[in-house]
Amino acid sequence: KQEVTQIPAALSVPEGENLVLNCSFTDSAIYNLQWFRQDPGKGLTSLLLIQSSQREQTSGRLNASLDKSSGRSTLYIAASQPGDSATYLCAVRPRSNDYKLSFGAGTTVTVRA
Amino acid sequence: EAGVAQSPRYKIIEKRQSVAFWCNPISGHATLYWYQQILGQGPKLLIQFQNNGVVDDSQLPKDRFSAERLKGVDSTLKIQPAKLEDSAVYLCASSSTSGIRTPQYFGPGTRLTVL
């Protein structure tokens, strides 16, 4: 069974600092990995989707890398802003008959002005 | 393009009562998902529909939870009777197809509190 872990559970940084969020998964046989953002009282917003054949994806200040062999993905957010404060979740889609998305518990980020 | 709509946004009930949630997916999206997100955890898939048929309900507690998508568009999720451990956010998501490479789009969720 795929296990997805996100450490740390919470992170607080001053505005302008770069953010590094980690996601690890136990089974490297995946189709893709997705990073989501969740604001309090709201649903999930998809940030980046990395297919298994890709090493990274970029969107604006966000960059996500994928290392399947080590079972890791990292989300980088450059020059953080208070508006980046949210919970960030990663989810993997396993390459198996049980193809359901497996989510991590998330990292809650606070960017201090 | 309108996003995934859910209602109500919040619901507080007593244990053993019944409750229903409604979801309207993005127009044209054939696949609809219901997730349960307990505080401090990631979402867990309860049920997946492809049009009006159930694709996966292996993690749905069928003794108390039911869901339907009669016309292949909007969907309802019902809990009867509710237990304390059902307190969670119930998220609906949709995707254009059930393809594994297709991203899912989530609604704002319904926060359920069972007292």
Listing DSSP states for A4-41 in one string gives EE-S-SEEEEETTPPEEEEEEES---EEEEEEEEE-TT
Q: Comparing C-alpha atoms, which of A48, A58, A52 is closest to residue A71?
A: A52
The pLDDT > 90 percentage for chain A reads 81
Q: What is the pLDDT of residues A34-70, one digit of tens each?
A: 999 999 878 899 999 999 999 999 999 999 999 999 9
Which residues fall within 8 angstroms of residue B60, CB to CB, at 6 or more apart? B46, B47, B67
Say whether B41 sits in a helix, a strand or coil.
Answer: coil
Rounded to whole angstroms, the Cα distance separating A55 from A52 reads 8
Residue numbers in B near A93 (CB within 8 A):
100
CB distance A103–B101 less than 8 Å?
no
CA distance A45 to chain B (A): 7
- Residue A41 in contact with partner chain B when CB distance is under 8 A: yes
CB distance A46–B56 less than 8 Å?
no
Rounded to whole angstroms, the Cα distance separating B5 from B25 reads 6
- Residue A110 in contact with partner chain B when CB distance is under 8 A: no
- Residue B111 in contact with partner chain A when CB distance is under 8 A: yes
Please name the residue that has the structure tokens 């919040």.
Answer: B10
CA distance B17 to chain A (A): 23
Residue numbers in A near B108 (CB within 8 A):
41-43
Encode burial over B5-36: b for 16+ CB neighbours within 10 A, e otherwise. Answer: ebeeeebebeeeeebebebbbbeebbbbbbbb
- Judged against a pLDDT cut of 80, whether residue B101 lies above it is answered with no
Rounded to whole angstroms, the Cα distance separating A97 from A79 reads 40
CB distance B40–A105 less than 8 Å?
yes
* Residue A98 pLDDT: 64
CB distance B42–A42 less than 8 Å?
no
Residues linked to residue B95 through DSSP beta bridges, in sequence order:
B31
Mean pLDDT of chain B: 93
Residues linked to residue B10 through DSSP beta bridges, in sequence order:
B111
* Residue A88 pLDDT: 98
Residue A82: phi, psi to the nearest 5?
Answer: -55, -30
Rounded to whole angstroms, the Cα distance separating A68 from A32 reads 10
pLDDT-derived band at B79, boundaries 50, 70, 90 = very high
CB distance A49–B108 less than 8 Å?
no
- Judged against a pLDDT cut of 70, whether residue A97 lies above it is answered with no
Tally of CB atoms within 10 A around A6? 22
CB distance A103–B109 less than 8 Å?
no
CB distance B56–A44 less than 8 Å?
no
Is the CB of residue A5 less than 8 Å from the CB of residue B42? no
Nearest by CB to A44, from B91, B100, B101: name it: B91
pLDDT-derived band at B99, boundaries 50, 70, 90 = confident
Strands B31-37 and A86-94: unpaired
